[in-house]
Amino acid sequence: MKLFSNTLLFKRITLLVSLVIVTLILWNTYRFFQKFKLAERAKMEIHGEAIKELNTESLADLDQNISNLPLSIISKTKDIPFILVGDDGKIKGSNNLNPKKENDPEYLKEQLEIMKSQNQPIKVDYLGKTDYIYYRDSDLLDKLTYYPLALLLILILFLAIIYLFYKTNKASETNKLWTGMAKETAHQIGTPLSSLLGWISILKMENVDETYIEEIEKDVHRLNTIANRFSKIGSKPELKKENIVTITEQAFDYLESRSSKQISFTFSSNDDEIYANLNAELFGWVIENLIKNAIDAMLGKGQLNLKIENKQKRIKITVTDTGKGMPKKLFKQIFKPGFTTKKRGWGLGLSLSKRIIEDYHNGKIFVKKSEIDKGTTFQIVLDRI
């Protein structure tokens, strides 16, 4: 169990064992290939001896049954293509080649060059003459040459699967860690929240200015909302029929009142009541993330427009800023966990927003357009009730 508890050591051992197994397979394949190649050469040497016997005059004195042996050998050598060449360099015959081209001189010359490049010829001496048998590897041997390549591809695929398995496992462990931290954060916030509520009651009894108390209550409510959001991470949230205009405007107004006065905020909707199945706290979190990103991109100065459109069965929410913008290659990357263009930050805001919209609300969130030094437009698309 200690071995498996050390993930890094287990990975290395798994990889080493895999490499050893594949190396052994490749080595044995190579040895088999060489043995097969030698067996084919031995077969052609026997073939050469058979040709020699058939061209020797002494065959006339041999028994008919024995003289049939060379013919039998030649007739059974059907899997190895070869060409018989005389000592004058002329082609005297061929066998096991393409039957449609075996009478084509150019084809025979081409095949002869291939054979010369693959194997040394077999010399056949008889009656003062010399012939040469040139041959190439059989089709089976040719196919075997691709076997190591196929094995390497299988190895690469195997290693890729192992890599993806460990990467997915690591991502799962990371998600569990973040979920645990989020829930623990929500739990820890609960204690001071209860205490703050008690202090607000005391301030009311002391006849403190109601304006101050109202602002404190807003922030306490805000902290309570944040705690509820964190507590929902990692579990399927409950969706209810909600007016998306109201929820969006609440998040918009909260951040507008706490942002730089040099930013011009504009909120618009073509309808006062547009309903969708939402988790109000999580959806409000997404809107806040988009607005905060817009504020950061503008460096505290510019124009921010939020627009809600009721389009038949779809609801479209667009958040447009006049910030620094981004190149098109970052349109998808910015939604990946840990990716950020800021000097500070964990790169989790847009990643969480994407998960909330797409996994929990079955919607879409994406960068609609962006231009460097001109601004960016994010869009959310949800189903309307």
C-alpha closest to that of 361 among 336, 332, 383: 383
**Banded model confidence at residue 95, pLDDT cuts 50, 70, 90:** confident
* Residue 14, pLDDT score: 72
Separation CA 361–CA 317 (nearest Å): 14
CB crowding 188-227: b at 16 or more within 10 Å, else e: ebeeebeebeeebeebeeeeeeeeeeeeeeeebeeebbbb
Residue 66 has what pLDDT? 45
- The domain defined by 236-383 folds into Heat Shock Protein 90 (3.30.565)
Give residue 234's pLDDT band: very low, low, confident or very high (50, 70, 90). Answer: low
Rounded to whole angstroms, what are the CA distances from 49 to 43, 55, 59, 173, 236? Answer: 10, 10, 13, 71, 81
Residue 60's pLDDT is 47
Q: Which residue has the higher pLDDT, 288 or 347?
A: 288
What is the pTM for the complete model shown? 0.53
- Does the pLDDT at position 302 exceed 90? yes
Please count the other Cβ atoms lying within 10 Å of the Cβ belonging to residue 228. 17
301 or 82, which is more confident: 301
Domain coordinates of the chain in residue numbers?
Answer: 2-145, 168-232, 236-383
Q: How confident is the model at residue 5 (pLDDT cuts 50, 70, 90)?
A: very low
Residues comprising the chain, all counted: 385
Which residue did the predictor score with more confidence, 296 or 177? 296
154-168, 236-250, 256-270, 315-329: which has the minimum mean pLDDT?
154-168
More confident residue, 370 or 228: 370
The reply to whether 2-145 and 236-383 are identical in fold is no
Any idea what the Cα angle at residue 256 is, between residues 182 and 201, rounded to 5°? 65
Give the Å distances, CA to CA, from 175 to 15, 72, 172, 178, 364.
26, 73, 5, 5, 21
Q: What's the one-letter identity of residue 248?
A: T
Q: Rounded CA gap, 345 and 299, in Å?
A: 15
First to last CA, the chain: 53
Report pLDDT for 143.
Answer: 67
Least confident interval from 24-28, 287-291, 374-378: 24-28
pLDDT of residue 172: 67
Average pLDDT over every residue of 75-103: 77
With CA atoms as reference, report the closest residue to 294 among 251, 337, 328, 329: 251
Half-sphere exposure (Cβ direction) of 29: Cα atoms closer than 13 Å: 17
Report pLDDT digits (tens) over 334-365. 888 766 766 665 567 888 889 889 988 999 99
Instruction: Using alpha carbons, select from 285, 287, 218, 228 the residue that is nearest to residue 258.
Output: 218
Assigned token pair, 242: 């909600």
Specify whether the CB–CB gap between 141 and 36 falls below 8 A. Answer: yes
The matching CATH number, chosen from 3.30.1490, 3.10.50, 3.40.190, 3.30.450, for 2-145 is: 3.30.450
Give the rounded percent of residues in the chain with a pLDDT score beyond 70.
74
Residue 154 reports pLDDT greater than 80: no
Instruction: Please write the tens of the pLDDT for every residue from 31-73.
Output: 776 766 776 676 677 766 666 666 664 544 444 444 455 545 5
pLDDT given for residue 193 in this prediction: 76
Query: What pLDDT sits at residue 238?
Result: 86
Are residues 85 and 56 in contact, defined by beta-carbon separation less than 8 angstroms?
A: no
Tell me if 323 sits within 8 A of 301, measured CB to CB: no
CA distance 276 to 314: 10
Res 12 pLDDT > 50: yes
Mean pLDDT for the chain overall: 79
In what helix (H) or strand (E) does residue 85 lie, and over which residues does it extend? strand 82-86
